[in-house]
Structure 1
């Protein structure tokens, strides 16, 4: 991040001067994250012919946690897990979306998103900024059952959308069904049942020609 301060959305229509300082910081953050609604992802929507945005993705993940938590291999705190999926993509407001199958874009993803997390969460009062950053780090590190399940939802949701689109991003040039399986295998770290279902969809998608089969290897 440069030394020049970023312009904030809330500055377009400043809050009254006599607003409580803590509340002003919280509202400034909430206005700033409205930008999540304009960060487009690669996944197609099931309901209409357009790509989803990050806010829609985050909402869908929260709904999936509420509905699918029973399939976690370990007990999870549903409310805590929902917090993880709601905030994990907020950093893309500043860092941008990194497509799953774009290896080049993923090289500096961790660094870009870490810088964005520091900048975005610092808009909040110190105690909340620290809590939000701790939650974001928890998701990234995947050391807790909740974080592993949150990550599983993050990989399962676009799998469902690609199934509904009869391929979607599975048709990305150079991507094979084996690549999809490798990228989605993290689902199995949280739920053997959901990964079994996910593999079944990928296998069927490959059989139907929605994902490329890897070319046969030639024996030397």
Structure 2
């Protein structure tokens, strides 16, 4: 598996949402796989949009807030999200949503049982590779690096080279962490929805317990991200998408 380095220039095309959907359908080995993975990406895009709108609403009000460095619990909710910290700049919502729609496209490539025979979907032991596989797939399809990186850099709460080496993960030693706010928002949004069978929504507290399995520092990193972005209305979203909430 080869790594590519990004020098900041254009490397491909910025796909439309319609083109992204067509790519999902092209890569999906079955309708069941498409339904699970594409729906997850739609949900993450929904949460991403909400988080980004909240950040932009806070940024627009930064000059009128008594303490722009504090959590903004007194500012009216935006798209169901309260709290959050004022970001250092305006968020590119369109780019973040595109990134959310492609972030898990590599999971089609790590299915051990892909549902093509009508059986249940099962992920393989190489699931940890889905981000890098998705990144490579997107580059091979001519997608620009700035969008492909959303697949590469969303695992956990930021997968560092140190963690890859310490945990002996089957990945080339490197940092797989967000490099901008848009990527970070998608990484956060992804944690609120699981592709388990059946799929489900997670509260921030539920994911904190999950993150703690990899150490208290990992849990604390997650809780810091929740404070930074606020928590989406996961109960409302679970009802809307007809999924369970844990």
Which one has the largest radius of gyration? 1
